[in-house]
Structure 1
Amino acid sequence: MLLIALLSLQGCSLKNSKQAENLEQNESISELARKSGLDLPESTIRAKKNFAQTNDSWQYLISLFAIPPVDDALIEKQLKWYLAHPEYIATIQTRAEPYLYHIIKQVEAKGLPGELALLPAVESGFKAHAYSRAKAAGLWQFIPSTGRLYGLDQNWWYDGRRDVYASTDAATSYLKKLGGIFDNDWLLALASYNAGMGTVGRSIKRNAANNKATDFWSLKLPRETRNYVPRLLALAKIFANAEHYGISLKSQPHKPAFAAINIGSQLELAKAAQLSNTTVKQLLHLNPGLSRGYTPPQGPHRLLIPIDSAELFKKNLAALPVDQRVQWKRHKIKAGENLGMIARRYKTQIVAIREVNHLANNNIRAGKHLLIPVATNQTPEKPFTQASHECSP
């Protein structure tokens, strides 16, 4: 059985194990899938000219659009919803501002159609902290298992699925792989991103066995997936033809909003805010993968810093003594105490105390001292568990 069929990155509400079933190894999806051409529509050619004049990120993104236009009733339905809610179009543009340049660069570097940079609008409403009832998280809505398969660590300190930097690399890598499997038929790739390759592959094989067409529009797929792909296509159509639809695209200079800085070891966010002359709130907005008031002890030792503060941060961090990077409480163990009692007292977890103090197990001795990971400006105990997922109109 193919390992790749296990890598079913689920979108929106279709997140269950059945959709991660393998395709048979002797079946080639690429032989059955319809190949898509990449002719640029007139609106995209116009966008290229607009970008040359404005150096605007949205115009640049539109110039990368490469999925051939399609007329379909499902696209029209989604398009009408968006046009009836112009405030939503404005909202996702605002939310995308800190992340857009980085997403575009990753999409472009991997040779993906520009339309895929809009996928976070469909998946999470461009909320980097989004967490769905199906336990999918982040801009790209990775479920836990697929996140781990793509190297996105998830622990008490950190959730890589919400890490803008790491999750964007993981999602675009996954989409690139899907594109290769489906011979660059991006509608089938998107359907698989949502429903899983097993679901799409089985539908393709059924149609092929019955001498039916195997393109997205001809397949029998779950209702959510049938709407999911048109939702993205409708949004891309609006962006590509904003003037025609009376939609205003915000101007955004095509340049980085943040710098990814290797900090080398653990750092308290309150200290990072001081060093960069920003706020903890600002840093959490760029680093929503940090579930506590610290970067993880074991890494990744990377912090996204607003671009205008990056040089100041690096200069101040270099001058900061290592022993001042974190300021934790020192607890003297009393007779009768155990790690569970201590963790509850400081509103932390046993695993965190063990990791910081390099404890092999839960055994502790009275009279000894423990370092307790409690941040100066602590984030909420469960900062990103709200069901803020916005995957559909």
Structure 2
Amino acid sequence: MIFLKRFFGSLFLAILVFLFHLLGAERASAQENPFPLLPGLEASVEFWKIVFTRYSTSELIFHDPLDPLKIYKILEMREDAPRRLIHEQRKKVLAELGLDQDEARVRVQRGVKERFAAGLQRSRKYISQIQQIFREEGLPVELAYLPLVESAFNVHARSRVGALGMWQFMPATGRRFLRIGPGLDERKDPLDSTRAAARLLKENFRAFGNWPLAITAYNHGREGLQRGVSQVGSKDLMEIIQRYEGRAFGFASKNFYAEFLAAVEVAKRSEEFFPALEYHAPVRLGEVEVERTIPVTDLLKRADILRDEFLEWNPGLNSKSRSIPAGYRIKVPEEKLEIVQAAYLRAIGKPGPEPKPTSFGETAMSWIRHRVARGQTLSHIARIYRVSVGELQRLNKLPDIHSITAGEYLTIPRH
């Protein structure tokens, strides 16, 4: 009897250990793959892949919205064709299929191959810094590809309903995170809008607990999707797609996560899908925080920078703006950061301190004074000047690599 008790006790413990490891493996798998291809979504993802890579913007795809890979017809029609002509062609397809009484069975999608390719080209300009922002926020870096769906990485993209910029913020949502006004609209700023998107996506994830819903909410709106979760009684995106009957929850919202998955796959395999594509050169932007409003011309003259290139780095500023508002962070390529920082300080009559004398008998000309911008880390500054983090920490007597604050000056060796 004692033997049996020990046997069953050991067996019970073994089962518990097995279940514990199984649960741990499932959690690890979920963390390793935060963006799962949900069962039932495979056809939608494949559909968007061919929309992105096969069909031109001059081609219309007539397909079944419930079974998107069921393509009835491909028709050539220029982009500026009147909507009336597209509607007439859809009527013809419905008649040919005998679906006159069930118009919802045929949907028209225009190919976006050229637009998507252009988005991939533009993405290389900022993608490294965008991914860095998501890492700093503790978010999956694949989210950096979401602008391929939203705007094709066009910082000036504007939708018919008023969404603007790379991340397509509507005014109401944008004002929660960004400054929006006649002289400055940070929705068009590649770095500021990315930080805002990261915060919004993080809020969505906290609200829903999974990325399929968090990403869908980015398109549909958090409150609207929460109504769907409540109505269906589930946080499973596929159940919501199949059962939620919200009036605004249409094809675009139902397919947004599938579009994202398709965009990520194509972006990661871009050399395969677009083998001859020429990408934009990467640009790493540094930032100079403006303490008080200054005239644009004053800064540009002191920094010897052309207005057009300055506005290219700072698309959030109105091209007709005469001043840079206080609190804005000027964006400049990292190799010009020191020049612009010095020009800004001179413009506000606040020159930086002279370089400290060194203990090695070197002249002051062997050193650079760097003013730390908001958001900069010691490793970031070390990369700019091609020095080691340890060297910066030692020269500036920093107790640790996290002990720098915006506005202070660091001594940098000039190599």
1:108 matched to which residue of 2? 135
What displacement does 1:109 show? Answer: 1.4
1:168 matched to which residue of 2? 194
2:312 matched to which residue of 1? 285
> 2: distance between equivalents of 1:283 and 1:219?
50
| Residue type at the aligned position of 2:52 | Y
What displacement does 1:285 show? Answer: 2.0
Query: Structure with the greater relative contact order (CA < 8 A, sep ≥ 6): 1 or 2?
Result: 1
2:212 matched to which residue of 1? 187
Q: Give unmatched runs, 5+ long, in structure 1.
A: 1-34, 42-65, 324-393
Q: Confirm or deny that 1:311 pairs with 2:338.
A: yes
Higher gyration radius (CA): 2
| Residue type at the aligned position of 1:143 | M
What displacement does 1:322 show? Answer: 4.7
Distance 1:268 1:37, change over 3 A: farther
What displacement does 1:246 show? Answer: 5.3
Q: Check the 8 A contact 1:207/1:214 in 2, yes or no.
A: no
Q: Check the 8 A contact 1:158/1:295 in 2, yes or no.
A: no
Q: Confirm or deny that 1:75 pairs with 2:101.
A: no
Q: Check the 8 A contact 2:219/2:253 in 1, yes or no.
A: yes
Identity over aligned residues, as a percent? 25
> 1: distance between equivalents of 2:116 and 2:296?
32
Q: Check the 8 A contact 1:182/1:188 in 2, yes or no.
A: yes
1:226 matched to which residue of 2? 254
> 1: distance between equivalents of 2:238 and 2:233?
6
Q: Check the 8 A contact 1:259/1:310 in 2, yes or no.
A: yes
> 2: distance between equivalents of 1:196 and 1:313?
39
- Show CA shifts across 1:356-379 (max 9, x none): xxxxxxxxxxxxxxxxxxxxxxxx
What displacement does 1:121 show? Answer: 1.9
> 1: distance between equivalents of 2:138 and 2:337?
29
Q: Confirm or deny that 1:38 pairs with 2:30.
A: yes
1:262 matched to which residue of 2? 289
SS at match of 1:149: coil
> 2: distance between equivalents of 1:226 and 1:295?
43
> 2: distance between equivalents of 1:93 and 1:235?
10
- Show CA shifts across 1:255-312 (max 9, x none): x611111233223334433344432222222212212323444x22321012222222
* Of 140-149 and 187-196, the range deviating more from structure 2: 140-149
| Residue type at the aligned position of 2:296 | L
SS at match of 1:303: strand
- Show CA shifts across 1:80-108 (max 9, x none): 01112554344113323443232111111
| Residue type at the aligned position of 2:143 | L
| Residue type at the aligned position of 1:112 | L
> 1: distance between equivalents of 2:167 and 2:334?
23
> 1: distance between equivalents of 2:155 and 2:136?
21
What displacement does 1:241 show? Answer: 3.1
TM-score (norm 2): 0.55
Q: Check the 8 A contact 1:269/1:283 in 2, yes or no.
A: no
Distance 1:306 1:294, change over 3 A: farther
> 2: distance between equivalents of 1:274 and 1:215?
59
